[in-house]
Structure 1
């Protein structure tokens, strides 16, 4: 069933978080009316929303109901599709100086724009002042070196976060601090004081196990997710008034459900959403480096992984593929 949100939300409404996680499907080819489709996994409903603001743009899921959009002109915006609020951000910190802005680019030309994750410290809209809040920190993993940078509403540039590591895979905001994980599983905490920022390593992960299987067949897409290993970061000891942490294996998520992919990863209470499966991981395709090697782009490697029996099932039964903007979680 398909519904429209136009009668529910308008520009006069404040930018609030959605009532439950939804899947923003890829932009359809030859789409003339700029309608984007949101899918609610838990009630099997489709919601159509006219969003010309996202036409031909890369979209990255963040939180609080906001999306990060990047156009062919490399302009970056935080966009709230339910209220139509849009916050302009500084131009992309890596590609802005490296490209000539005087020629037109097809969206697929921007598929290597080197922007992987975006996380917000809070909702950038202040419901008291009815304006954008400079206390909000917007952090991204960017460039082909996958380094960290941040900005705030009203800033004119991105600020690099100094660190002795790169190749970051994920970032999150937890208890007033940003944390980042690199491709080795090492964890860093980000210290931000005004416009000075650095990341400090607090945990090292010594083992790796790859659950992404690459298929050498020319007739198949080159990768598929086989499973997940879940780890929890725990404080192990305190040395010289400084906590040391270690990774601990997790066998069950209990009532929690994880939502992961090319967006801000979150853990939610499954019992809060009718139809959401507890002790499961809902994942979407975020293997950006291989999108151009697939038959029709990224978006086919999606599903629900059960921590209990290790099985993977589909959460979206249709096909939603794109080389530059595959489905993202809208949370």
Structure 2
């Protein structure tokens, strides 16, 4: 132990800067008094991701907890809830990205990347710099809550070695009334639109040097960000056979594969007629090896409900009833514009997927004590219906077992009318 304690402080500092998880910084500080003094010497510790998944719980009040200035986080591994003093997040819309960072938007429409454990903050271009704005104009609070539903990073935005932000990091977002795509980098003055043949995107991910986005129909698009030329998203996978617009889509890299995850909801606001018969295997033999448009696709994804249903607000307006997972498999066919077809996935192996109001993530369950393999962990991201429920949203959370199709809870509920619980990973 004395040998470790005798290491020069700058060597210990270099060791700490090269750790993989934020939890390890505290472990390093427990080695000896000398190492603890080095950890305490950081004005802000390196912004590393947490070792396991956490849920950042909702703010119950729209102005946040101004007195204590805290946010509560639930640790999935030890099943304990911790309160963190985070005045930087009071009253701000938060989205989970990756590498332990959050995208935050304030009522004055300023946008930041914020690392809640280290308190590092990176300013991004504000909301008015997006190309497409709401028409007519809406209240800033609505823009804060709804304007950016998804954000993903190409890499960590912070270089722990140089202790500076990484200007090579690309931040891509789904934004606006029609949910189109844009990107920026640290240091940019505005968000840059991505030309796309589609809109109403549900999710985005970064995979093998490219960004992939899935729209509300389930069609997948890819684009590579090259500053020397205009960025265009191109279709690479068709709409899966048997899906519907009301089925929520996520796209995630898992163990080297690109997966399309379909989340089916039932309840008061979702009619079973909106979906295929979920008990039948509608997604087997999904090839779609041509470019034929689906002429039977509904033009409007929201059908009228009966008048008495519109007036009946209850606390179970929607609920997740199942998931289907498809793998994008490379294929070539003459005359087809698509590079991928779909293959149904029945088993995720050792992986656990985490979806919701965050960048969709896949983690090896065996390295996370308390995390179940072959399962999908989900939070309540159906913010459009939060105000239509008695106590607000935040209750539709749980764990879906791919093996037997059962659903279980990982946290009871986190009610709010404007703030979503989300994965912090």
TM exceeding 0.5: yes
Instruction: Map residues 185-224 of structure 1 onto 2, 5 A cutoff.
Output: 185-194=218-227, 196-205=230-239, 206-208=241-243, 210=247, 211-215=264-268, 216=309, 218-224=313-319
Residues 66 and 112 (structure 1 numbering): CA distance in 2 closer, same or farther, change over 3 Å? closer
1:23 paired residue number: 55
Equivalence for 1:50 = 85
Q: Does 1:324 align with 2:359?
A: no
Distance in 1 (alpha carbons) for counterparts of 2:390 and 2:343: 38
Misfit runs of 4+, over 6 Å: 240-243
Q: Which has the higher strand share?
A: 1
1:173 is matched with which residue: 196, 203, 206?
206
Question: How far, CA to CA, are the matches of 2:339 and 2:232 in structure 1?
Answer: 18
Structure 2 vs 1, CA of residues 235 and 56 (structure 1 numbering), >3 Å: closer, same or farther? same
Following superposition, the deviation at residue 221 of structure 1 comes to 3.1
Residue 220 of structure 1 and its aligned partner are, at CA, apart by 3.4
Q: 2:95 aligns with which of 56, 60, 71?
A: 60
> Gaps (5+ residues) in structure 1?
none
CA–CA distance in 2 between the matches of 1:79 and 1:126? 14
Q: How many residues align?
A: 320
In the TM superposition, what whole-angstrom CA distance separates every residue of 1:193-244 from its partner, at most 9, and x where no partner exists? 1063110001102330542113145333321110001111001226599972
- What TM-score comes out, normalization by structure 2 length? 0.71
TM-score of the two chains, using structure 1 as the length reference = 0.90
Q: For the residues of structure 1 that align with 2:362 and 2:165, how far apart are their CA atoms?
A: 26
Cα deviation code 1:174-194 (max 9, x no counterpart)? 111110001111111112210
Point out where structure 2 has 5 or more consecutive residues left out of the alignment: 1-22, 27-38, 248-263, 269-308
Q: Is residue 314–residue 389 contact of structure 2 (8 Å, CA) maintained in 1?
A: no
Distance in 1 between residues matched to 2:347 and 2:314, nearest whole Å: 36
Distance 2:206 2:163 in 1: 24
Aligned counterparts of 2:148 and 2:417: Cα–Cα separation in 1? 14
More helix by share: 2
Aligned to 1:144: 177
Corresponding position: 1:311 with 2:401: no
Q: Which has the larger radius of gyration?
A: 2
